[in-house]
Structure 1
Amino acid sequence: MKKKIVLIQDDKDILNVMDEILEDEGFDTVASLTTEPIDRIDDIDPDLVIVDDNIKGNKKGSKVIEELKNDPETEELSAVLTSTSNDLPRTAKECKADDFIEKPFDIDHMIEVVKKNA
């Protein structure tokens, strides 16, 4: 069975590129420009969530991950934070993310991080 990934990015082009790459790698992705899939996390039941820290009009991705990690029902869910921020390693650690992907990202590195955490 395919591993399932919730992919939330703030940029449509980046979302489409990441979605395409992950599908090519054999993952089943739920891609979104908003945090809406997080509201359905129990129904989706993903192996991994990848969240951008700067989602327009929504709470920060680090806050989304922090809430998932602090909820007993979702604390075991693997979560990866993405951002262009120089503080990304610190932010990822503070929100208890399992890993992070700096943008602009190297495709091979992104795939490696996803496979390690999914």
Structure 2
Amino acid sequence: MNKKIVIFDDDQDILTAMESVLDFVDWDLMTFSSGQDAIKVISKEKPDLILMDVLLDGFDGREICRSIKENTELKHIPIILISGQQGAEAAQHQDFGPNDFLPKPFNIGDLIDKVYFQLAS
């Protein structure tokens, strides 16, 4: 069974780049440009991994992450937060924070390594 990865980023170029980088493996990728329905999508799809920008079209990825980690049905899903915002990596060390953090601009090798690591955990 293929691993399912859900990606949330309001920058279409980043979504396209991530999709093309991660598409070489037989993973099911789903991309979304808004965080508006993130919890509904994640509850419905039950992905194996979530990649999420911190700033999402009026939504805060850290708050979405917190909601996921506080939800008993979803808290097991690993989350990698992504941001170019200085200091955003501090979210990784908070209660109910993400499993990992990827700074923008990101190195393709780092993205792939982090995805593989989280899917193997």
* TM-score, reference length from structure 2: 0.89
Q: Secondary structure at the match of 1:51?
A: strand
* Distance apart, 1:89 and its partner CA: 2.2
Paired position in structure 1 for 2:33: 33
Number of the residue aligned with 2:114: 113
The C-alpha deviation readout for 1:81-116, integer Å capped at 9, x for no partner, is: 000022122122224100011100000100000111
Deviation at 1:37, TM superposition (A): 4.3
Structure 2's unaligned 5+ residue stretches are: none
- AA aligned opposite 2:40: D
On the 8 A contact 1:6/1:37 being kept in 2, the answer is: no
1:63 has 2:85 as partner: no
Output the amino acid matched with 1:20. Answer: S
Determine the C-alpha separation between the residues in 1 that align with 2:104 and 2:73. 30
Percent identity of paired positions between Structure 1 and Structure 2: 28
Where does structure 1 lack aligned partners over 5 or more consecutive residues? none
How many residues are aligned here? 117
In 1, Cα distance between the equivalents of 2:26 and 2:107?
18
1:2 corresponds in structure 2 to: 2
TM-score w.r.t. the length of structure 1 is: 0.92
Q: RMSD in angstroms over aligned alpha carbons?
A: 1.3
Cα drift, residue 26 of structure 1: 2.4
- Deviation at residue 21 of structure 1 after TM alignment: 1.2
The answer as to whether partners of 1:62 and 1:92 remain within 8 angstroms in 2 is: no
Cα distance in 2, alignment partners of residues 15 and 65 from structure 1 = 18
